C-alpha cells in the first residue's frame, strides 16, 4: 500500500467512526487502522450493529465527505488527553493513552469529531472520493477473549470510482470461489463440530484431491534426492524445551502428562528430523542430507481465528530439513527455489512474490550467526535472480527466512512456501558430522516446505480454480452417463475401462433425466462427460461433453483416452 492510499484509508476509517457516533452518540470507539484491502474500525454500541445498518452509516459518511471538513492535528499531554476522552465517555481511548510512552499524544479533528491518532491524514474529508463499507464482524478488545467484544466495521476506499468498482467486482467473484462453500458443495472437506473445531475431515473426493497433491510431492522430492522419514506425533516436552519451541509455542501446544512426564503433540516436525540425524554418526560424504516427511502437526489456535482450511488446528506439512555444509548452502537454497517455482507453475500459479524476513525482537543464537544467515539468504536470492521484498523483524526465532506468496487469478496473494536458514538448532542439539580430516563440525540446517500446509494449499487451489480443477487435479475426471437403462452396461464397462487406464471415472446411472444428470455433472465440475446411447453402443464410441467446451462429438474411447492423457501430462 502506497503512502497516499494509506492516508486515504486511514481518513476513511475516521469518517466511518464519525458517522457511527452521529447515528449512535453513546458509541465507544476503539481503533481504526488501514489494512491491505481497506480499513476497519472497532466500536462498542448499546445494541449490536447489523448488516442492515451499513447503508445508513454509508449515507452519513457521504454527508461528512460532502461537507469537506478539514483534518486538523493537535497535541495534548497524556494527562490532558486522558481527561478529555474520559469526559467524552471513551474508555478504550483512555487505555490506549496510558500505554503510550511519549509525554504527549496527537489528536485529529474534523468537524465535531476528535480522535486519538498519529496520522497521517488527507487535508479534508472531501478528498475521500470512492469508499464502501463491506461487512461486520466481532472482535475482542486487544484480541483477548477476557476483554469486551466489539463490532468491527470493515470498509475500503480508493482514489477513483473505477478502482473501487474493479475491487468490488473481484470481491464478488471471490465470494463465488469461497473454498468453505465450494468444499462443502463438492464434497471435498468438512468440519464436524462434535469432533472439535479446526479439525478437517476429507470425504472420498477430498481425499482423492489431497492424495494427488501428496503423490506429486513424493515423486518430486524423490526426483530431487530427498529421502523419506516418519516421526511420532507425540514427543516428551524435554525435546520441545531443548529446541526452543516450548518457550515460543507453549500457549499453542497440546500438552498432557503420562506417569508424571509431560508430553506434547508436535507443533513442528523439525525436532523429529533432528533426532533422526543425531541417531547415527554422520560423515561429510552424506551431506547434503535431505529429509522429507508429510508430517501432521497440531496447534491450539483460538477458535476466533479458525477459517476453513486456511487456519486449522491439525494440518500436514510437506516438511523437509536439509543438513549440509556451509559451502553447500547457496546451491541448496537455489535448488529449493527452483523446486518451488516449478511446483507452483504445475499447480497453476506462475506468478508470485518473495519476502525475506530478518531477525525478530526475540530470537535464539547470537547476532553474528543471524547476520551471517541473513547475508547467505540475500546472496542466494540475488545469485538465482529472485526479486524480493524485505520484511524486517519477521524471521523465525531460530533463523531468517524466505516466504513465497503465490498470485491467483483474482490478483490475490497467498502465503505458501518457506525456506528458513538455521545455525541455531544444530548447535542446541549438538549435531555434528566428520569432515574429511576427521574433525567433528556442526552442520547447517535448512527448514523448508514447498506447499506449506496441505490444508491451506488445498483451500488456495479450490479458490484459484473455483472448484473447476484441470483434468490432472480433478477428483473425478470423467462421468459416463447412459441415456437409458439399456445402455447402463456399456456405460459401466466404459468407466471401468477408463479406471484400468489409470483415470478417475464413475458412472451416473441414477433414475434421473439425462439433462438432470448432465447438469449435476456440470455442478460437480467434472471435466468430461461421456454420454452413451444406442448409436454409441452400436458404433463402439462415446459422445464427449467437455465442462469448458461443450459438445465435442462422438469418438472412439481410445481417442478420448489419448486426449485426456495429454491434458493430464500437460497439467491442463
Active-site position among 270, 290, 324, 416: 270
pLDDT at 106 over 90: yes
Rounded Cα distance between 468 and 525, Å, is 5
Q: How much is the pLDDT for 248?
A: 87
* Cis upstream peptide for 288 (omega within 30°): yes
Confidence tier at 1 by pLDDT (50, 70, 90): low
Active-site position among 273, 299, 313, 448: 299
Residue 400 parent element (H or E): none
Q: How much is the pLDDT for 176?
A: 93
Active-site position among 18, 317, 420, 477: 317
For residue range 535-547, list pLDDT tens digits in order. 999 999 999 999 9
Active-site position among 7, 14, 152, 447: 447
DSSP-assigned states of every residue in 90-156: -HHHHHHHHT--SSEEEEEEETTEEEE------SBGGG--EEEEEEEEEEEGGG-TTSPEEEEEEEE
Distance of CA 214 to the CA centre of its chain: 18
Q: How many C-beta atoms surround the C-beta of residue 256 within 10 A?
A: 11
Which residues neighbour 331 within 8 Å (Cβ) at sequence distance 6 or greater?
Answer: none
Which residues neighbour 35 within 8 Å (Cβ) at sequence distance 6 or greater?
Answer: 9
Residue of 330, 448, 449, 327 lying closest to 381 (CA atoms): 330
Mean pLDDT, the chain, integer:
94
The answer to whether 253 and 264 are in contact (CB under 8 A) is yes
Rounded Cα distance between 554 and 541, Å, is 6
Q: How much is the pLDDT for 9?
A: 96
For residue range 448-488, list pLDDT tens digits in order. 999 999 999 999 999 999 999 999 999 999 999 999 999 99
Distance of CA 455 to the CA centre of its chain: 9
Rounded (10°) angle between helices 367-383 and 329-346: 50
Rounded Cα distance between 248 and 253, Å, is 10
121 is catalytic: no
317 is catalytic: yes
Residues 494-522 have a mean pLDDT of 95
Which residues neighbour 516 within 8 Å (Cβ) at sequence distance 6 or greater?
Answer: none
Eight-class DSSP state of 192: -
Residues 99-119 have a mean pLDDT of 92
Rounded Cα distance between 400 and 444, Å, is 13
For the chain, what percent of residues have pLDDT higher than 70?
A: 100
For residue range 271-281, list pLDDT tens digits in order. 999 999 999 99
401 is catalytic: yes
pLDDT at 88 over 80: yes
pLDDT at 316 over 90: yes
For residue range 354-389, list pLDDT tens digits in order. 999 999 998 999 999 999 999 999 999 999 899 999
First to last CA, the chain: 34
For the chain, what percent of residues have pLDDT higher than 90?
A: 90
Confidence tier at 193 by pLDDT (50, 70, 90): confident
For residue range 239-248, list pLDDT tens digits in order. 999 999 999 8
Q: Where are the alpha helices (DSSP H) in 290-328?
A: none
What cell does 369 get? Answer: 550467526
Q: How much is the pLDDT for 109?
A: 95
Q: How much is the pLDDT for 119?
A: 86
Active-site position among 21, 93, 401, 545: 401
Q: Where are the alpha helices (DSSP H) in 234-384?
A: 237-243, 245-249, 270-278, 329-346, 367-383
Query: Whole-model pTM?
Result: 0.87
pLDDT at 304 over 90: no
299 is catalytic: yes
- Residue 419: helix, strand or coil by DSSP? strand
Confidence tier at 143 by pLDDT (50, 70, 90): confident
Rounded Cα distance between 528 and 564, Å, is 9
DSSP-assigned states of every residue in 165-186: HHHHHHHHHHHHT-HHHHHHHT
Active-site position among 321, 504, 525, 545: 321
User: Would residue 32 be called left, alpha or beta, if left means φ above 0 and alpha means ψ between -120 and 50 degrees?
Assistant: beta
Q: How many C-beta atoms surround the C-beta of residue 135 within 10 A?
A: 12
169 is catalytic: no
Residues 313-336 have a mean pLDDT of 95
What domains appear along the chain, each with residue ranges and CATH number?
3-176 (3.30.980.10), 191-232+266-465 (3.30.930.10), 478-570 (3.40.50.800)
270 is catalytic: yes
Active-site position among 42, 318, 319, 509: 319
Eight-class DSSP state of 225: T
Amino acid at each position: 500500500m502506497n503512502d497516499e492510499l494509506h492516508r486515504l484509508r486511514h481518513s476513511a476509517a475516521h469518517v466511518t467512526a464519525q458517522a457511527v457516533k452521529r447515528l449512535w452518540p453513546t458509541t465507544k470507539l476503539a481503533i481504526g487502522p488501514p489494512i491491505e484491502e481497506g480499513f476497519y474500525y472497532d466500536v462498542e454500541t448499546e445494541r449490536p450493529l447489523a448488516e442492515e445498518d451499513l447503508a445508513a452509516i454509508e449515507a452519513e459518511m457521504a454527508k461528512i465527505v460532502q461537507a469537506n471538513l478539514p483534518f486538523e492535528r493537535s497535541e495534548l499531554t497524556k494527562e490532558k488527553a486522558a481527561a478529555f476522552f474520559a469526559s467524552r465517555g471513551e474508555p478504550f481511548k483512555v487505555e490506549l493513552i496510558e500505554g503510550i510512552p511519549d509525554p504527549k499524544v496527537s489528536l485529529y479533528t474534523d468537524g465535531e469529531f476528535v480522535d486519538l491518532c498519529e496520522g497521517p491524514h488527507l487535508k479534508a474529508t472531501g478528498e475521500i472520493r470512492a469508499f464502501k463499507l463491506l461487512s461486520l464482524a466481532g472482535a475482542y478488545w486487544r484480541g483477548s477473549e477476557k476483554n469486551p467484544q466489539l463490532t468491527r466495521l470493515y470498509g475500503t476506499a480508493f482514489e477513483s470510482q473505477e478502482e473501487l468498482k474493479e475491487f468490488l467486482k473481484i470481491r464478488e467473484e471471490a465470494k463465488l470461489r469461497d473454498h468453505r462453500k465450494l468444499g462443502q458443495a463438492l464434497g471435498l472437506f468438512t468440519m464436524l463440530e462434535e469432533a472439535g473445531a479446526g479439525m478437517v475431515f476429507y470425504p472420498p473426493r477430498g481425499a482423492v484431491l489431497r492424495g494427488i497433491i501428496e503423490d506429486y510431492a513424493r515423486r518430486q522430492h524423490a526426483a530431487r534426492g530427498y529421502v523419506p522419514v516418519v516421526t511420532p506425533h507425540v514427543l516428551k516436552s524435554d525435546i520441545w524445551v531443548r529446541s526452543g519451541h516450548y518457550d515460543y509455542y507453549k500457549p499453542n501446544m497440546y500438552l498432557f502428562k503420562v506417569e508424571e512426564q509431560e508430553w506434547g503433540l508436535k507443533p513442528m516436525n523439525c525436532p523429529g528430523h533432528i533426532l533422526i540425524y543425531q541417531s547415527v554418526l554422520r560423515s561429510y560424504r552424506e551431506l547434503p542430507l535431505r529429509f522429507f516427511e508429510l508430517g501432521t502437526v497440531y496447534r491450539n489456535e483460538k477458535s476466533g481465528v479458525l477459517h476453513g482450511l486456511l487456519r486449522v488446528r491439525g494440518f500436514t506439512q510437506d516438511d523437509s530439513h536439509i543438513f549440509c555444509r556451509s559451502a553447500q548452502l547457496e546451491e541448496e537454497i537455489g535448488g529449493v527455489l527452483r523446486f518451488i517455482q516449478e511446483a507452483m507453475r504445475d499447480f497453476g500459479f506462475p506468478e508470485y512474490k518473495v519476502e525475506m524476513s530478518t531477525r525478530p525482537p526475540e530470537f535464539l543464537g547470537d547476532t553474528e550467526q543471524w547476520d551471517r544467515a541473513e547475508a547467505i539468504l540475500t546472496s542466494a536470492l540475488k545469485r538465482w535472480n529472485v526479486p524480493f521484498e524485505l520484511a524486517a523483524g519477521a524471521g523465525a526465532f531460530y533463523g531468517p527466512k524466505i516466504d513465497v506468496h503465490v498470485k491467483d487469478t483474482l490478483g490475490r496473494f497467498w502465503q505458501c512456501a518457506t525456506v528458513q536458514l538455521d545455525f541455531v538448532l544444530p548447535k542446541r542439539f549438538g549435531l555434528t558430522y566428520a569432515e574429511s580430516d576427521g574433525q567433528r563440525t556442526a552442520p547447517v540446517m535448512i527448514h523448508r516446505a514447498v506447499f506449506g500446509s496441505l490444508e491451506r494449499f488445498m483451500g488456495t487451489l479450490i479458490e484459484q480454480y473455483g472448484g473447476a480443477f484441470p483434468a490432472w487435479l480433478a477428483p473425478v475426471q470423467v462421468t459416463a452417463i447412459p441415456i437409458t437403462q439399456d445402455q447402463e452396461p456399456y456405460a459401466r464397462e466404459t468407466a471401468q475401462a477408463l479406471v484400468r487406464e489409470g483415470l478417475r471415472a464413475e458412472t451416473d446411472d441414477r433414475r434421473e433425466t439425462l439433462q438432470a444428470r448432465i447438469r449435476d455433472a456440470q455442478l460437480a465440475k467434472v471435466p468430461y462427460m461421456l454420454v452413451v446411447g444406442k448409436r454409441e453402443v452400436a458404433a463402439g464410441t462415446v459422445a464427449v461433453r467437455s465442462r469448458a467446451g461443450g459438445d465435442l462429438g462422438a469418438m472412439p474411447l481410445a481417442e478420448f483416452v489419448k486426449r485426456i492423457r495429454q491434458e493430464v501430462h500437460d497439467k491442463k
